[in-house]
């Protein structure tokens, strides 16, 4: 079974600075998808960024980018120019590329990100 | 924003009551999910559905039950609530056939059993 580990329960960063959230995973599969989700306090969980394992190029969405190291099974999220609205719980998630079934997500424990003004 | 709705947002109720948490989506998604999440903790899948009349238990054992009579509706029921059921319950859905399709989440229901 796949597992996802986020070793940083809490992180903080000064507004406008850059922060990196760590995520490692364990799988025997060669192709899969990885996701970062953001859960603001008392608000809806939303997708931040996704990466397919067979693509070597790191995904980027505006101020959010990932550092995907397949051999190391590492998938970190970098947030540049941090804004107060980035404060949230961030969850790393894994999904198999198997097209049948429920396409379940396996979540990490989450990292609570605080932005200091 | 995704069109997936959960009601109620908050519920405080006494032990032994029957509870139904509602989840509806207007995107026509075939797959729906229920997660249990304690405050500040990870999400645990408790139920999922491939489509109408299909439901499966998730990775975390739960005393709750679900039904999927209509594509858009995936309610979760607790027949007799207990304090151990106090938690946040998140509903999600996804569509399409590819595994790259993200899950869309509702706002969640914060359940407190006295």
pLDDT tens, position by position, B83-114? 999 999 999 999 877 667 889 999 999 999 99
pLDDT tens, position by position, A23-54? 999 999 888 999 999 999 878 899 999 999 98
**Residue A54 touches chain B, beta carbons under 8 Å:** no
Average pLDDT, chain B: 91
The answer to whether residues B103 and B1 touch, using CB atoms and an 8 Å cutoff, is no
Does some domain include residue A80? Answer: yes
CB < 8 Å to A95, chain B: 99
With CB atoms and an 8 Å threshold, state whether A35 touches B102: yes
With CB atoms and an 8 Å threshold, state whether A102 touches B56: yes
Does some domain include residue A117? Answer: no
The CATH number covering residue B29 comes to 2.60.40.10
pLDDT tens, position by position, B31-41? 999 999 998 88
For chain A, what is the domain count? Answer: 1
Does some domain include residue A67? Answer: yes
Select from A45, A89, A96 the Cβ nearest to the Cβ of B99.
A96
For chain B, what is the domain count? Answer: 1
Amino acid A101: pLDDT: 59
- Residue range(s) defining the domain that contains residue B58: 4-113
- Is the pLDDT confidence value at A102 over 70? no
Does some domain include residue A50? Answer: yes
- Residue range(s) defining the domain that contains residue A95: 3-112
Q: Which helix (H) or strand (E) holds B3?
A: none
């Amino acid at each position: 079974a796949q597992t996802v580990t986020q070793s940083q329960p809490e992180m903080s960063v000064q507004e406008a600075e850059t922060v990196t959230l760590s995520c490692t995973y364990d799988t025997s599969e060669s192709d899969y998808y990885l996701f970062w989700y953001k859960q603001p306090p008392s608000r809806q969980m939303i997708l931040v960024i996704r990466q397919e394992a067979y693509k070597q190029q790191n995904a980027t969405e505006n101020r959010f980018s990932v550092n995907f190291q397949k051999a190391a099974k590492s998938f970190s999220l970098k947030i540049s120019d941090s804004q107060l609205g980035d404060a949230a719980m961030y969850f790393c998630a894994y999904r198999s590329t198997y097209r049948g079934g429920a396409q379940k997500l396996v979540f990490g424990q989450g990292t609570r990100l605080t932005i200091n003004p | 924003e995704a069109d997936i709705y959960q009601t109620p947002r908050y519920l405080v109720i006494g032990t032994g009551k029957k509870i139904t948490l509602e989840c509806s989506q207007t995107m026509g998604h075939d797959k729906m999910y229920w997660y249990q999440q304690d405050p500040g903790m990870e999400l645990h899948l408790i139920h999922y559905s491939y489509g109408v009349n299909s439901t499966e238990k998730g990775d975390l054992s739960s005393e709750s039950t679900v039904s999927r009579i209509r594509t858009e509706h995936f309610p979760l029921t607790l027949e007799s609530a207990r304090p151990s059921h106090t938690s946040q319950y998140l509903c999600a859905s996804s569509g399409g056939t590819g595994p790259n399709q993200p899950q869309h989440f509702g706002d969640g229901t914060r359940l407190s059993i006295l």
